[in-house]
């Protein structure tokens, strides 16, 4: 595996499966009260330039359970917010800590941070990617379906960080991936180039994408940083809702995943959300286990 986890494109299919296997083991250990303090005495710096509930709590709790410590640095309150270059922050944190998790806007910031850090950097969400979430999604799907290869993963909505990461992650583990997005909201060109020639479909027809799907995934129509476009986006995405009618064309027993937070009545109906709440909150729990696996593998607990 690479030094860092910056995007799903950085991982091979085998890397992903290795992370998921360790995540399953760590989940078992935690649920059975078995010790797993693989990162005793180690520290993770967590830089947040956007809001978070799950990412913050799962990384901080995960480090504690692994015997280490996590510290929260808000963009605003640290010197980053006063313009200290990311290159300098990288070299300073590398002398105190054993890993850095960052949630920010541009993927370039995360890439620069990693380039100047001698310690592993983990992307906790950028506008381009959300790899930790997709590892948790794949873990949850594999738990319920017993395998990933050959399953059809369908994403409905904005071609955003989640769509970009699901396309790459799904294809790398042998899934068929179908995405329905309106014109003007397509996934990133780098991701579409990766998907070319693989079992991948991009359409503007949600029913075509959802047909015979084993798992349907959606996300908010306006991501963090796009709040001012909310109305315009609500119009563009009308018709891209995950509802009973859409599920009726999917495979019987189709799973529904949502990274959360969810907007009921927008990208998903309250009925579908509640009918699949167990799967969705298992997915949220699995952020903890998947990220613990990433930290153990990158920060030196297990080879
Ligand atoms: N899904 C997710 O990343 O949640 P948070 O924004 O609460 O961290
Ligand atoms: N696409 C969403 C995901 C939130 C976890 C966002 O970037 O805000």
What's the whole-number mean pLDDT along residues 281-293?
A: 98
Atom of ligand 1 nearest to the CA of 224: 6
Average pLDDT value for the chain: 97
To test the pocket of ligand 1, the residue of 225, 259, 267, 280 to mutate (highest count of ligand atoms within 8 Å of its CB) is 259
What's the whole-number mean pLDDT along residues 69-98?
A: 96
Q: Has residue 301 got a pLDDT over 80?
A: no
CB-ligand 2 contact for 222 (6 Å cutoff): no
Q: Has residue 68 got a pLDDT over 60?
A: yes
pLDDT tens readout for residues 209-248: 999 999 999 999 999 999 999 999 999 999 999 999 999 9
Residue 24 pLDDT: 98
Q: Has residue 104 got a pLDDT over 70?
A: yes
Q: Which ligand is nearest to the CA of 135?
A: 1
Q: Has residue 303 got a pLDDT over 90?
A: no
Residue 178 pLDDT: 98
Q: Has residue 265 got a pLDDT over 70?
A: yes
Taking the centre of ligand 1 as the mean of its atom positions, its distance from the CA of residue 74, in whole angstroms, is 15
Q: How confident is the model at residue 18 (pLDDT cuts 50, 70, 90)?
A: very high
Residue 75 pLDDT: 87
CB-ligand 2 contact for 161 (6 Å cutoff): yes
What's the whole-number mean pLDDT along residues 39-54?
A: 97
CA distance 63 to 288: 10
Nearest Cα neighbor of 249 from 211, 204, 206, 218 is 211
CB-ligand 2 contact for 224 (6 Å cutoff): yes
Burial of 236: CB neighbours in 10 Å, binned 0-12, 13-18, 19+: middle
Taking the centre of ligand 1 as the mean of its atom positions, its distance from the CA of residue 11, in whole angstroms, is 21
Give catalytic residue positions.
Answer: 103, 130, 133, 219, 259, 287
What's the whole-number mean pLDDT along residues 1-30?
A: 98
Q: Has residue 188 got a pLDDT over 80?
A: yes
Ligand 2 atom 7 nearest Cα: 223
Q: Which ligand is nearest to the CA of 222?
A: 2
Q: How confident is the model at residue 302 (pLDDT cuts 50, 70, 90)?
A: low
Residue 300 pLDDT: 86
One DSSP character per residue, the chain reads --S-B--GGGS-HHHHHHHHHHHHHHHHHHHTT----TTTT-EEEEEESS--SHHHHHHHHHHHHTT-EEEEEETTTSGGGGT--HHHHHHHHHHH-SEEEEE-S-HHHHHHHHHH-SS-EEES--SS--HHHHHHHHHHHHHHHS--TTPEEEEES--SHHHHHHHHHHHHTT-EEEEE--TT-PPPHHHHHHHTTSSEEEES-HHHHHTT-SEEEE--SS-TT-GGGHHHHHHHTTT--B-HHHHTTSPTT-EEEE-S---BTTTB-HHHHHHTHHHHHHHHHHHHHHHHHHHHHHTTS--
Taking the centre of ligand 1 as the mean of its atom positions, its distance from the CA of residue 197, in whole angstroms, is 32
Q: Has residue 258 got a pLDDT over 90?
A: yes
Taking the centre of ligand 1 as the mean of its atom positions, its distance from the CA of residue 61, in whole angstroms, is 14
Taking the centre of ligand 2 as the mean of its atom positions, its distance from the CA of residue 147, in whole angstroms, is 27
Burial of 35: CB neighbours in 10 Å, binned 0-12, 13-18, 19+: exposed
Quick one: what percent of the chain has pLDDT higher than 90? 98
CB-ligand 1 contact for 132 (6 Å cutoff): no
CB-ligand 2 contact for 219 (6 Å cutoff): yes
């Amino acid at each position: 595996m690479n030094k860092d986890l910056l995007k799903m494109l950085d991982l091979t299919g085998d890397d992903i499966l290795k992370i998921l296997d360790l995540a399953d083991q760590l989940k078992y250990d935690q649920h059975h009260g078995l010790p797993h303090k693989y990162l005793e005495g180690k520290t993770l710096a967590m830089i947040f330039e956007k809001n978070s509930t799950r990412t913050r709590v799962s990384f901080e709790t995960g480090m504690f359970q692994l015997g280490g410590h996590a510290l929260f640095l808000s963009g605003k309150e640290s010197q980053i917010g006063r313009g200290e270059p990311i290159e300098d922050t990288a070299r300073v944190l590398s002398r105190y800590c054993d890993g850095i998790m960052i949630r920010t806007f541009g993927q370039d910031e995360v890439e620069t941070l990693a380039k100047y850090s001698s310690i592993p950097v983990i992307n906790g969400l950028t506008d381009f990617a959300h790899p930790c979430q997709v590892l948790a999604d794949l873990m949850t799907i594999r738990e319920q379906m017993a395998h990933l290869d050959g399953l059809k993963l369908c994403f409905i909505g904005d071609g955003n960080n989640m769509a970009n990461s699901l396309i790459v992650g799904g294809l790398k583990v042998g899934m068929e991936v179908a995405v329905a997005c309106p014109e003007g909201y397509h996934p990133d060109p780098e991701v579409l180039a990766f998907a070319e020639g693989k079992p991948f479909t991009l359409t503007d027809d949600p029913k075509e994408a959802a047909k015979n799907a084993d798992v349907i995934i959606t996300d908010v129509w306006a991501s963090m940083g796009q709040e001012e476009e909310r109305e315009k986006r609500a119009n563009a995405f009308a018709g891209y809702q995950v509802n009973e009618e859409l599920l009726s064309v999917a495979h019987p027993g189709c799973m529904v995943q949502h990274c959360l937070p969810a907007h009921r009545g927008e990208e998903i109906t309250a009925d579908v959300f509640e009918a699949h709440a167990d799967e969705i909150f298992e997915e949220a729990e699995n952020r903890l286990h998947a990220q613990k696996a990433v930290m153990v593998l990158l920060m030196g607990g297990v080879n």
